[in-house]
Amino acid sequence: MTHFPPPAEELRLLDLELRQLDARRAQLLHRRAWLVTALQAASAPAPFAPPHPQTSPGSETSAPRVQNVLLVLGGVLLTIAAMAFTLVSWGHMGIAGRALVLGGLTVAVLAAPVALLKRGLRSTAESVAGLGLALTVLDAYALHEVRLADVDATGYIAAASAVLAALWAAYGLLPRVSELRLPLPAALVAAQLPLVLWAVAADAGLFGITAALLATAGFDTGVALRVPVRTVRITAMIGAYGMGAWGVWAAGWLSWTATGPSAAARAAALLLFAAAIAVTAAWQQVAEKQAGGLAVGAGLLTVAAFGGTARSALPDAWTVPAYLVCGIALLAAVRVDRLPQPVRSGLVRASAAVQGLALLWTLPLVGIALLGPVAWVERVWSGVPGDVRQAVTADVPWPADAGTVPVVLAVVAVVLLLAARDTVRRPRALTGVLVLAWATALVLPAVLEVPYAVGLVALATTTAGALATAAWIRPAEHPAPEEPSAAAASPEAVASPQEAASPQAPPPVDFPTTRLTATILALLTSLPLAFLSLTAEPATLTVLATLTALFAAASWKPHLAPVTAPTSLAYAAALACATGAAAGWGPQYTALLVLAVPVAAALLAARLGDTRATIPVEVAGALPALLAVGLTAASADLPMVALVLALCGVITAGVAIRPDRRPVAYASAALFVLATWVRLAAWDIGTPEAYTVPVTVPALLVGALSRRRVPETSSWTAYGPGLAATLVPSLLAAWNDPHWTRPLLLGMAALAITLLGAGHHLKAPLLLGGTVLTLDALHELAPYIAQVTDALPRWVPPALAGLLLLALGATYEQRLRDARRMRNFLGNMH
């Protein structure tokens, strides 16, 4: 159905369209007149026209620009000469002579533009008119020096600027002089001074001067809205914004520093006056962007006015809530139909800006509640604080006047929930409401100074509530479209237009952003809860167990498992460490308890199968395994290190049973080999080959059989573990062996393995044997290299390094080709 606006709104729209049409008609008429003049000039005979254009190809400027520069310079020089005459040569003439010279010169100069305009010398007329306006200023100065020297200078300047503004405006409106573009803007510039200077001269104080500034800005706004001349409108807009900015800044400062209701009310009156000017300009502004910006400014000024008045009568803690309530009150403008749409939108944006600033004020306290408990990491189990505020401010001070932060957060949440009721903005609104409600629940225990135990329960409840919200918001299920059957495609089955137009059941609503936000908020809340629990041993164990159970329970929801399941495993690992510490166990024994987490992760990943949560669960299980290895390594208990490595190998071997995790067998084999080496080192065995060779030989045989059955098997899989099981321990033993027998035998064995790998094009024997052979040779030659290095002069190593770099640079391309050949050669090996 066609919507007809109210008569008042329709009349306003018609007036706006008519003004736009008049402006466009005036522009087209002006353009037509210019075209007619140009055609007449082109058709007129020009016997004295120059044969070439005025601007030669090599010139850098045009003749009109040169003319304008010369005219401006001439006017400036004449003005300087007149000032010199007035200031220096004035005393050599009598009163009559002075008045006759300046008056006659001023009248002659002001009359000259009329004759110049008749001859078509517009630029010259503009320059001479500017000189005449400057002479009027000198006349005013001369009058003060001769007749009115006893008058106050500030008051005289105010009166003189008012008189000059009126004279210049009258001069600019004369029939012939109205073609000039300088007098009217100059009159408007002079009109900026009278009110302000009169306020200063009358000692009106800051309130009076501010009122004068705002009144001048209002006058400029009226001129900008009513005068059609472009130069005057631009000058008026500059004056309005400049004077208005100074006036608004002064009024805002007076409102903020007001010590009582009376001063606050006077400052509020000034701010409301500025807001009225902005609203009036926005109401009549054609451009939507400018109207919206002015409306935003008017809304902010209104909030500053009423908020400043309320602030003077309220405690300091309620300053921000007072401004917030005033900002929310601007939303009532949405229901006023008489206001233009740009004005209403601007007021809504101003309200949003006030609410945003209020939320920024709450951020320090939210940050303290979220990050303050981290300080308990350095004070583990040092004692329970008296209340939650003491717990979160262990290392940071409590912000001043922060008692109303929960009120601000709750009020903005309610406004956001009520304001966004349409389906387009509702998901984002719900997300914002959820964040604000979470922030309120996070800071409320500290603001109320509740007991420590109650604060822990409140944070745990907030975490559970966030998880419940994320679990309640399920992903929308979109069923696949079914193919129409033959019966459905028959003519009898085709729905009638009335049936097709009947309302259908709405599709399920999905809020993925809200669901993700709730999950993240649950994680964020659990962190300060876990850190706060470090104050006492029972609190730590209880909180970590509760968090493990909460996130484990949330993992039953498939859309939450990728986040909540790894989090539950992380808190389980922390619970294992805390349990070991509470029992008085050493780190190496606590590591055995931590290994229960990787076992649970492996079992859970096998149960999950190929889902989005599988990889996060496996990563979360691998990290506690690394933690267990680090705990045992820190204890320097080699038998326990070997045991933990072996258990990790068992866990990875169990993971490798799954068909999609076969490559994990490599990690399992490496862990078993590493555990063997650590065990040999723990037994302090001088001949590791007695234990490694019996393992290497069967491993190599098994690898050879596997390659015979499956020729595509990699040499790293077939021979790598067996060779490494002997070569690496033997290399470590050789480096610590002062005799030459072991290094010699190891070098010979490595050389044989290298040659076998090169002969059969096997990558693992070639690289392992070559690496061990190189390291063994370097170890044996190290003493001789050191002796040679000490015997050489100090300049030889830099010289050799320079020669090496020169050789590499000269044969750089050849070296690159050699490297590519080596890469291709190794890539072709098994």
pLDDT by residue (tens digit) across 414-450? 998 887 666 567 788 888 999 999 999 999 999 999 9
Distances (CA, A) of 6 to 159, 338, 368, 795: 49, 9, 53, 97
> Mean pLDDT, the chain, as a whole number?
82
CB within 8 Å of 600: residues ≥ 6 apart:
569, 572, 621
pLDDT for 211 beyond 90: yes
Confidence label for 828 from pLDDT (cuts 50, 70 and 90) = low
- 451 forms bridges with which residues in the sheet? 387
Q: How far is Cα 381 from Cα 592, in angstroms, rounded to an integer?
A: 23
Written as six digits, the tokens of 614 are 């599988």
pLDDT winner (highest mean) among 296-305, 694-703, 771-780: 296-305
pLDDT winner (highest mean) among 418-422, 455-459, 721-725: 455-459
Cβ count within 10 A of residue 659: 6
pLDDT for 286 beyond 80: no
Confidence label for 495 from pLDDT (cuts 50, 70 and 90) = very low
pLDDT: is 396 or 494 the higher one? 396
Q: How far is Cα 31 from Cα 688, in angstroms, rounded to an integer?
A: 102
Residue 490 has what pLDDT? 39
Residue 494 has what pLDDT? 38
Residue 805 has what pLDDT? 65
Q: Residue 371 burial (CB < 10 Å; 0-12/13-18/19+)?
A: middle
pLDDT: is 552 or 662 the higher one? 552
Residue 504 has what pLDDT? 44
Distances (CA, A) of 96 to 104, 106, 337, 408, 762: 12, 15, 67, 74, 119
Q: Which of 301, 400, 303, 320 is nearest to 361 (CA)?
A: 320
Cβ count within 10 A of residue 367: 13
3-state secondary structure of 65: helix
pLDDT: is 113 or 534 the higher one? 534
pLDDT for 461 beyond 80: yes
Percent pLDDT > 70 in the chain is 81
Task: Provide the CA 614 distance to its chain's centre, in angstroms.
Answer: 33
Written as six digits, the tokens of 34 are 């210019």
pLDDT for 332 beyond 60: yes
pLDDT by residue (tens digit) across 616-645? 999 999 999 999 999 999 888 888 999 999
User: Would the pTM of this model clear 0.85, i.e. be above it?
Assistant: no
pLDDT winner (highest mean) among 56-65, 283-292, 504-513, 803-812: 283-292
Average pLDDT over residues 488-505: 40
Average pLDDT over residues 215-235: 92
Q: How far is Cα 554 from Cα 472, in angstroms, rounded to an integer?
A: 11
Q: How far is Cα 368 from Cα 389, in angstroms, rounded to an integer?
A: 10
Written as six digits, the tokens of 260 are 């009582």
pLDDT by residue (tens digit) across 137-153? 878 887 777 777 788 88
pLDDT: is 478 or 177 the higher one? 177
pLDDT by residue (tens digit) across 238-272? 999 999 999 999 999 999 999 889 999 999 999 99
Cβ count within 10 A of residue 27: 10
Q: Which long-range contacts (CB under 8 A, 24 or more apart) does 575-581 make?
A: 575/541, 575/544, 575/545, 575/548, 576/624, 577/627, 578/537, 578/540, 578/541, 578/544, 579/541
CB within 8 Å of 118: residues ≥ 6 apart:
176
**DSSP 3-state percent helix, strand, coil across the chain (nearest 5):** 80, 0, 20
pLDDT winner (highest mean) among 51-65, 448-462, 502-516: 448-462
pLDDT: is 78 or 362 the higher one? 362
Residue 517 has what pLDDT? 92
pLDDT for 58 beyond 50: no
Of 88-102, 483-497, 718-732, give the lowest mean pLDDT range: 483-497
Residue 808 has what pLDDT? 61
pLDDT for 600 beyond 70: yes
pLDDT winner (highest mean) among 281-285, 736-740, 816-820: 281-285
pLDDT for 460 beyond 90: yes
Q: Which of 451, 576, 573, 571 is nearest to 522 (CA)?
A: 571
Residue 580 has what pLDDT? 94
- 387 forms bridges with which residues in the sheet? 451
Average pLDDT over residues 699-710: 83
Written as six digits, the tokens of 693 are 């060779």
